[in-house]
Chains A and B, each alone.
Chain A
Amino acid sequence: MAKYILKRLVLGIITIWAVITITFVLMHSVPGNPFATESRKIPENILENLKKKYGLDKPKSEQYIMYLENIARFDFGESMKSSSETVNQIIARRFPVSARLGVQAILIALIFGPALGAIAALYQNKGPDYIAMIISIIGVSVPSFVLGSFLIQFVAAKVDWIPIGGWGEFRHTLLPSFALALMPLAQFSRLMRSSMLEVLGQDYIKTAKSKGISRFAVIMKHAVRNAILPIVSILGTTVSDLVVGSFVIEKIFGIPGLGQYFTISVFNRDYTLIMGVTVFYAFILILAMLLVDIAYMLIDPRIRLTKEGH
């Protein structure tokens, strides 16, 4: 196990190096610079001062080495657009906000998604199945900016104790968590439904039933445990997507999270920030995948991470 994790960590570091290199090449190959603003062009001589200040006047290879050195020290440098914070500070201050929303959304999705899918499978082609599928179609097909605006206009603006936007208390997190949760909830319920249908037709379920085990126990112990595996396998990417934040949801609800920086940093050509958030996301993704693989093994003893068992 320890050997396996070590191997995965080494692979992770190589992946991150690849991510850094590709990001570096891509971001320097698009036109523009971090100092341009939409309203005003920057005169050439002032641009020179700015480039010098942030080391952009140096050759690209030198800048690349500099990035690698700094990232190795976990220092992503200063944001070129927002001189009031370093990239590390931006991530450290915004990530907890996004992560909290993401975790809440994941919990909502994990509680209701599989349950909905399981119910749909048990009542295949009956009322509950149709209701569950309507919910998941809505969840998959309604874009988050529509859902967010809808929730603000028809829930937040009508219900007094639900704030329209902003951040601070638990009640601020309700609508955005729900808006974030709907998509994975729908995905989970669809996955759960199909895998559950498959599992319910298996011989071991019939065996369990014929042994006289109660219907409830059969479903919980045998069917759900096996049917949930596909959900676990997509959980890694879903969790890492959700915890780093959503551009749209955070913008609509005015949430000081990290999600918007993935888009804004690119738009602003804020090189240090682009690098920071990209590497951070890669890190979270690699970590989540590793955890999922470990969780997989715990849920399904048939899966071995290493060949030791054989």
Chain B
Amino acid sequence: MSRKFLMLISILLVLAVLFTGCSSQTSTSEKKILRTNNSSEPGSLDPALAQGTHESWILENCFEGLMTFDENGNLVEGMAESYEISEDGLTYTFKLRDGIKWTNGDPVTAHDFEYSWKRALAPETAANYASILYYIKGAEDYNTQKATADDVMVKALDDKTLEVTLEAPTAYFLELTAFYTYFPVNKNVDESNPDWAKDPSTYVCNGPFKLIEWKHNDEIILEKNPDYYNASKIKLDGIDLDILEDQNTAWQKYQGGEYDLLVDVPTSVVDELKSKNDPQLEIGLQVGTYYYNVNPAVKPFNNAKVRKGLSMALDRQTIVDKVTMGGQIPATGVVPPGMKDENGDDFREVVGELVKYNPQEAKRLFDEGLAEEGMTVEDFNNQGFVLLYNTSESHKKIAQAAQEMWRTALGIEIGLENVEFQVKLDREQSGDYQISRAGWIGDFMDPMTFLDLWWSDSAFNDVKYNNPQYDALLKQAKSTNDQKVRMKAMKEAEKILMEDMPVIPVYFYTQPYTVKSYVTGIIKVPVRYPIITYADMTK
């Protein structure tokens, strides 16, 4: 009898332990954990090797550069406490904050920064994004094996002072130091274990959150970093990011209450929410332009009037309203809205509408251009020209709309051809195309992030645009920190570019995302994915 009694007691005890276990579970669920979807598996969580938003969204929460974006979306000092810029705008001296630490307890020093930037530039590292460090004197030469690491002009003068010398005055250099390729990595950790970024247990970072778990293709878990110097500003206890590629499934999960925020929202859903004026939907600004490359090596596309005719025949308002439907903005130039000029006015607004829809004028210009090339519309149609795009439902719909608009306004037939994006790149490279789809997302908040694309030597200049006048203006803008001079030159440059129309801008990207009503503090800086670092939840 007593034995049975003992057994009963022990069962009860075990149950009690189990239930206490459960109740402590309940208290963890009261923690503020933001749940969302990262939509793609990161290729690497090493800042030097990261390539896109599916990596940077996590890195920006785990790391912090010399500068950073604050809870209002302003660029402020991050790891740096202060900075000084020399008269000539070439030398930057950063003083680091006191008490900044890595997640393993080491202090963050200027040596870490020097080490990290040189590491990202090292040819052996083969960082895809190394070119964003080329503003630093000697950086490009080191990356292309024409110089050594010692020639890169970034130097830790002591633990707290970092001196950087640039190739040329760069008005947006401070903002670049908030970009992920400029994030520091822990020198000691990287030297002793180069594979530290592959495993959460060896992952060392310096930002508001730390990496707790990385289940490949499944889930990434971040936890608040209590040692972060600005931890009082961070309201979340953690961020859980699913890695779920399918947009529709992700949307179902958001709707089912499994996510608090969703960035990659299916187009059909955006359209529906927009028409219902649903308060969950935010259409964030993004600095990106969707455009068509026109190959000037193919007659009659060498003629600017032909290119301008094609451009003027596009009814961009209809394309964004009826085709893309994600709240995009009809393009009026190559530089998207959101960038400020020297007076704090919007660059786009000040420069004005350089691209217009005008079917009559389009037809007139197009025919005139054709005649100058000794061609008729019939000759044109006999050539079998095609618009090349990489296979995707959305590119296809836009291409079909453009095809129809060209047919109606100009009476021309342009075929459509879709290929895999790698094949498209290959054909663009070899000049084997007439018109091809392209797009560009800016890296920093300065018109130069777009205008630089068509500088004659640019690696991204697909159409091989070459106008000495344009180059001279860009050179002028790159030679000074005087915003007045820079902006004037860039405004002039954009006008010249749109007069020559080597590319036909279609629309400016936007970034629609949905947020549950109880989530606050999500900010959208145009050059970033929505910033979730300072989010709060009042559920």
Contact = CB atoms under 8 A, between A and B. Distances in A.
Interface of A: 30-33, 35-46, 48-50, 52-53, 81-85, 90, 93-94, 149, 152-153, 156-157, 164-167, 251-254, 256-257, 260, 267, 269
Contacts of A46: 126-128, 130-131, 143
Interface string B123-151: 11111101100000000000110000000
A55 to B, nearest CB: 12
Contacts of A50: 126, 128
21 contacts: A30-B422, A31-B422, A32-B425, A33-B422, A36-B421, A38-B421, A39-B439, A45-B143, A50-B126, A52-B123, A53-B124, A82-B44, A84-B42, A165-B244, A166-B218, A251-B246, A254-B218, A254-B243, A254-B245, A267-B420, A269-B422
Contacts of B427: 31
Interface stretch (B248-256, B496-504, B523-531): B248-256
B42 A32 contact: no
A257 B218 CA distance: 9
Given A32-B422, A36-B421, A53 B215 contact: no
B244 A254 contact: yes
Given A31-B423, A49-B143, A164-B256, A82 B41 contact: yes
A251 B245 CA distance: 6
Nearest to B218: A256
Interface in B88-142: 123-128, 130-131
Q: How extensive is the interface on chain B, given as a class? A: 35 or more
B279 to A, nearest CB: 22
A156 B143 contact: no
Contact of A49 (B45, B123, B245): B123
Interface in B244-283: 244-246, 248-250, 252-253, 255-256, 258
B422 A36 contact: yes
Contacts, number: 131
Contact of B244 (A49, A82, A166): A166
Interface stretch (B22-30, B46-54, B77-85, B480-488): B46-54
B345 interface: no
A33 B425 CA distance: 10
Contacts of B43: 81-84
Contacts of B439: 39
B162 interface: no
Given A46-B128, A46-B131, A83-B46, A152 B249 contact: yes
Nearest to B130: A46
A40 B56 CA distance: 15
Given A31-B425, A38-B421, A166-B242, 11 more contacts: A31-B427, A32-B426, A42-B128, A43-B131, A49-B125, A49-B143, A53-B126, A83-B46, A84-B43, A256-B217, A256-B218
A50 to B, nearest CB: 4
Contact of B218 (A41, A82, A156, A167): A167
B197 interface: yes
Contacts of B45: 84
A174 to B, nearest CB: 15
A149 B268 CA distance: 15
A43 B216 contact: no
Contacts of A45: 143-144
B245 A37 contact: no
B459 interface: yes
Nearest to A160: B256
B216 A52 contact: no
The 10 closest A-B CB pairs, nearest first, are A32-B422, A256-B217, A31-B426, A43-B459, A254-B244, A49-B126, A53-B126, A256-B218, A50-B126, A82-B43
